[in-house]
Amino acid sequence: MNSASIRVRLTLWYGSALALILLLFAVALYLVMSRALREQVDASLDEAAAVAIRTLGEHRFGPFLIFEDLSQDFPEIALLDKFFQIFGPAGQVTIQSSNIQSREIPLSQSAFRASLEGQSTFESVQFKKGVPLRLLSVPIRQGEQLVNILRVGTSLQPTDRMLRRLLVGLYIASPVALLVSLLGGWFLAGRALRPVHAITQAARRIAAGDWSQRILTPHSNDEIGQLASTFNDMIGRLEVSFKQIRQFSADASHELRTPLTITKGETELALRRPRQAEDYRAVLESNLEEIDRMSRIVDELLFLSRADLGEIKLKMVPVQLDDLVREIQQQAMVLGMDRHVQAVLNAVEPVLIQGDDLRLRELLLNLVDNAVKYSYEGQTVELALVVEGSHAKIMVRDHGIGIAPENQARVFDRFYRTDEARAHGAKGTGLGLAICKWIVEVHHGTIELDSTVHGGSCFTVFLPLIPARA
Amino acid sequence: MRILVVEDEPKVASFIRRALEEESYAVDVCTDGIAGLDWAQAVDYDLIILDLMLPGLPGVEVLKRARAAGVKAPVMILTARSEVDQRVKGLDAGADDYLTKPFAIEELLARARALLRRAGGAPTGILRVDDVVLNPVTREVTRDGQRLEFTTKEYALMEYLMRNAGRVLTRSMIAEHVWDLDFDTFTNVIDVYISYLRNKIDKGRERGLIQTIRGSGYMMRSDG
Domain CATH number, residue A299: 1.10.287.130
Beta strand A342-348 pairing with A380-388: parallel
Angstrom distances, CA of residue A247 to CA of A251, A383, A394, B53, B84: 6, 34, 32, 14, 15
Cβ pair A325, A345 in contact under 8 A: yes
CB pair distance less than 8 Å for B80 and A268: no
Question: What residues in A contact B101, CB-CB < 8 Å?
Answer: 257-258, 260-261
Q: What is the pTM of this model?
A: 0.59
Cβ pair B101, A258 in contact under 8 A: yes
Same-domain check for residues A394 and A422: yes
Q: 3-class SS at A404? A: coil
Nearest by CB: A425 against B10, B19, B82: B10
Phi, psi of A244 (to 5 degrees): -60, -45
**How far is A54 from A66, CA to CA, in rounded Å?**
15
Question: What residues in A contact B9, CB-CB < 8 Å?
Answer: 258, 261-262, 422
Same-domain check for residues A303 and A332: no
Residue A37 lies in a domain: yes
Share of chain A above pLDDT 70, in %: 91
Same-domain check for residues A292 and A331: no
DSSP string, A438-467: HHHHHTT-EEEEEEETTTEEEEEEEEEBPP
**How far is A383 from A396, CA to CA, in rounded Å?**
5
Lowest mean pLDDT among A248-257, A409-418, A438-447: A248-257
Residue A224 lies in a domain: no
Cβ pair A457, A449 in contact under 8 A: yes
CATH number at residue A392: 3.30.565.10
**pLDDT for A274-307, tens place per residue?**
999 999 999 999 999 999 989 988 898 888 888 8
CB pair distance less than 8 Å for A253 and B81: yes
CB pair distance less than 8 Å for A272 and B8: no
Contact map slice: A 69-88 vs B, CB within 8 A: none
Cβ pair A411, A418 in contact under 8 A: yes
Cβ pair B21, A269 in contact under 8 A: no
Predicted pLDDT at B172: 83
Same-domain check for residues A283 and A137: no
Same-domain check for residues A57 and A145: yes
Same-domain check for residues A251 and A329: no
Same-domain check for residues A277 and A330: no
Residue A447: beta bridge partners?
Answer: A461
Mean local confidence (pLDDT), A151-174: 88
Predicted pLDDT at B126: 83
Count of domains for chain A? 3
- Under the banding of pLDDT at 50, 70 and 90, the label for residue A470 is very low
**How far is A184 from B15, CA to CA, in rounded Å?**
77
**How far is A461 from A40, CA to CA, in rounded Å?**
99
Same-domain check for residues A327 and A270: no
Cβ pair A82, A152 in contact under 8 A: yes
Neighbour tally for A60: CB within 10 Å: 8
Same-domain check for residues A146 and A239: no
- Predicted-assembly ipTM surpassing the 0.90 threshold: no
Domain that includes residue A326, residue range = 317-464
**Whether A268 contacts chain B with CB within 8 A:** yes
Lowest mean pLDDT among A35-44, A74-83, B89-98: A74-83
Q: Would you call A68 exposed, middle or buried from its count of C-beta atoms within 10 A (0-12, 13-18, 19+)?
A: exposed
Residue A219 lies in a domain: no
**Whether A261 contacts chain B with CB within 8 A:** yes
Residue A169 lies in a domain: no
Predicted pLDDT at A108: 82
Nearest by CB: B81 against A250, A260, A286: A250
CATH number at residue A134: 3.30.450.20
Same-domain check for residues A270 and A250: yes
Residue A182 lies in a domain: no
Q: 3-class SS at A343? A: strand
Q: Which helix (H) or strand (E) holds B5?
A: strand B2-6
Residue A441 lies in a domain: yes
Ordered by where they begin, the domains of chain B are: 2-120 (3.40.50.2300), 127-220 (1.10.10.10)
Neighbour tally for A22: CB within 10 Å: 17
**Whether A419 contacts chain B with CB within 8 A:** yes
Q: Would you call A29 exposed, middle or buried from its count of C-beta atoms within 10 A (0-12, 13-18, 19+)?
A: middle
Chain A nearest-CA residue for B58? A419
Chain A nearest-CA residue for B52? A254
Same-domain check for residues A247 and A324: no
Residue B170 Cα, gap to closest chain A Cα (Å)? 34
Same-domain check for residues A284 and A368: no
Q: Kindly tell me if the per-residue pLDDT of A269 is higher than 90.
A: yes
Residue A126 lies in a domain: yes
**How far is B86 from A250, CA to CA, in rounded Å?**
12
